Amino acid sequence: MSTLEPDPRDGMVQVLDEEGGVVGDVPDLSDEEFVAMYRHMKLARHFDERAVSLQRQGRMGTYPPLSGQEGAQVGSAFALAEDDWLIPSYREHGAALVRGLPLRDTLLYWMGDERGSLIPEDANVFTPAVPIASQVPHATGMAWADKLKNGGETDKAFICYFGDGATSEGDFHEGLNFAGVFDTPTVFFCNNNQWAISVPRERQTASETLAQKAVAYGFEGVQVDGMDPLAVYKATTEALEKAKNPGEGELRPTLIEAVQYRFGAHTTADDPTVYREDEEVEEWKRKDPIPRLEKFLRNQGILDDDRVETIEESVREEVAEAIDAAESTVRPDPSTMFDHVFAEKTPEIQRQAEEFARLREEYGDEAFLEE
């Protein structure tokens, strides 16, 4: 039976338990595909740790950590076909990495360099959305446009990521309602990491699950263990296939709620110790998706100590090279921040640019760096 068919209130889809034991149908992946998924998760985790360190050292601006969410990001991105599109929020560094976005570019983006927003043409990744839920209508519109251009048919799916806090925004409801009415090939992927900054999940909604919100818009919702990359891959694969080839009487969209946890802060400007207990964090860390997948792969004879060590060494090298590349990139002139707001400067943006130039000439750049 499809993982998308049960009532989302009936329990989460799961393939691996917390110890890496098999409790569901394992996806049909080759040994090398399993290892590639594991390596991407290790790469995302190490990149995340180094990025937080860079911010703490004053070498990068505010950064949103992803540790704990690698299983959901990498597992779902691995399910995408080459022509599918990924529409992220601001935390999907791991998912974008799978799709071919260089780590250097992610670093440049969070260093305040707009060149980090120049997505490679073959990556099929939309630019990050920092405003909460603003990307949801964009994803629906992209999917609808593709469907219209192809006479109502499509061979592409569009996956849109957002957090549990986004489900309280009007853009979320408008985007999903439109998707249901116009039957767009969209997979709405909710990273329910339990906290919208300091607002806990139970303060977002009285609904038993977030996945069941899909029922109001006429399409399917599924709740999946977001710390289980294989369960995420399985559910996302089925949702993407339905988006492109729905069965008789089925609507294309799906809402996936991936239940997970962010181990770190909302961003590096946040102090999570003021609103959550260490015991809660440690309880969720016992569900960590990386050792869970590693235990499974070791039990299958796919990983051993030597291979894990080789992967970890290559991951360290790749992240170090990305940091070197980002930090050796010549910094843009501050005036370029006005160049990328609109395709052409509006009168107001032009006025601001001229005022900024006047202040720089009058006071010098050092005046802007004084505390």
Which residues are known to be catalytic?
Answer: 262, 266, 275
What Cα–Cα distance (Å) separates residue 9 from each residue in 13, 208, 305? 11, 7, 40
DSSP, residue by residue, 201-256: GGGT-SSS-SGGGGGGGTSEEEEEETT-HHHHHHHHHHHHHHHHSPPTT--S-EEE
Q: Is 138 helix (H, G, I), strand (E, B) or coil?
A: helix
Residue with tokens 């995408």: 80
Pairing label, strands 195-196, 199-200: antiparallel
| Euclidean distance between CA atoms 90 and 129, whole angstroms | 6
Query: In 259-295, which positions are buried (b, 16+ CB within 10 angstroms) versus exposed (e)?
Result: bbbbbbbbbbebebeeeeeeeebeebeebbbbebbbb
Q: How many CA atoms lie within 13 A of 357 on its CB side?
A: 9
Which residue has tokens 């061979």?
A: 155
Length of the chain: 371
